[in-house]
A and B are shown apart, each in its own frame.
Chain A
Amino acid sequence: MSEQEPSAGGYSAAAEVAFKRTRRSRFERLRIELGKASFSAWFGMLVVFCYMVVALLAPFLAPYGEAEIFPTPFAPWGDEHRFGTDQIGRDILSRLIYGARNTMGIALVTTLLSFLIGGTLGLIAAINRGWIDQIFSRFVDVLMAIPSLIFALMLLSIFGSTIASLIIIIAILDSTRVFRLTRSVAINVVVMDYVEAARLRGEKIGWVMRREILPNIMPPMIAEFGLRFSFVFLTIAALSFLGVGIQPPTADWGSMVRENASLIQFAKYDFKSALTPLLPAAAIALLTVAVNFIVDWFLHRSSGLHDE
Chain B
Amino acid sequence: MHPVLTTVLKRVGLGVVTLIMVSAIIFSSVSLLPGDFGESVLGQAATEETVAAFRRELGLDEPAIKRYFNWLGAAVKGDFGTSFSGRSASGVDRSRSVASLVGPRLYNTLFLAGITALVAVPLALILGLTAALYRNSFYDRSVNAVTLTTIATPEFFVAYILILLLSSLWPIFPSLANIDASTPLGERLYRITLPALTLTLVIVAHMMRMTRAAIINLLASPYIEMARLKGASRSEIILKHALPNAWAPIATVIAFNLAFLVVGVVVVEVVFVYPGIGQLMVDAVTTRDIPVVQACALIFAATYIILNLIADIIGIVSNPRLLHPR
Contacts and interface: CB of A to CB of B under 8 A. Distances in A.
Interface stretch (B116-124, B212-220, B279-287): B279-287
Interface string B289-307: 1100110110011001100
Contact of A281 (B149, B154, B259, B286): B154
B156 to A, nearest CB: 5
Nearest to B18: A145
A267 B169 contact: yes
Given A242-B282, A264-B168, 12 more contacts: A142-B21, A145-B304, A149-B263, A158-B290, A160-B288, A243-B282, A257-B156, A271-B169, A278-B160, A281-B154, A288-B152, A289-B153
Chain B interface mostly helix, strand, loop or mixed?
helix
A260 B304 CA distance: 33
A150 B156 contact: no
A203 interface: no
Interface residues of A, number: 49
A131 to B, nearest CB: 18
A261 B160 contact: yes
A292 B152 contact: yes
B32 interface: yes
Among B151, B152, B285: residue with most chain A CB under 10 A: B152
A285 B175 contact: no
B312 interface: no
Interface stretch (A28-36, A70-78, A82-90, A230-238): A230-238
Contacts of B290: 157-158
B148 A147 contact: no
Interface of A: 141-143, 145-151, 153-160, 230, 234, 237-238, 241-244, 254, 257, 261, 264-268, 271, 274-275, 277-278, 281-282, 284-285, 288-289, 291-293, 296
B161 interface: yes
28 contacts: A141-B18, A142-B21, A142-B22, A143-B25, A145-B22, A145-B308, A147-B259, A147-B301, A150-B301, A154-B26, A157-B290, A158-B33, A160-B288, A234-B154, A238-B155, A241-B270, A242-B266, A244-B282, A254-B154, A264-B168, A264-B175, A281-B154, A281-B156, A285-B154, A288-B154, A289-B148, A289-B152, A292-B152
Chain B contact-residue range equals: 35 or more
Contacts of A264: 160, 163-164, 168, 175
A279 to B, nearest CB: 11
A154 B164 contact: no
Contacts of B266: 149-150, 153, 238, 242
B172 to A, nearest CB: 13
Nearest to A146: B301
Interface in B23-43: 25-26, 29-30, 32-33
B161 A278 contact: yes
A1 to B, nearest CB: 26
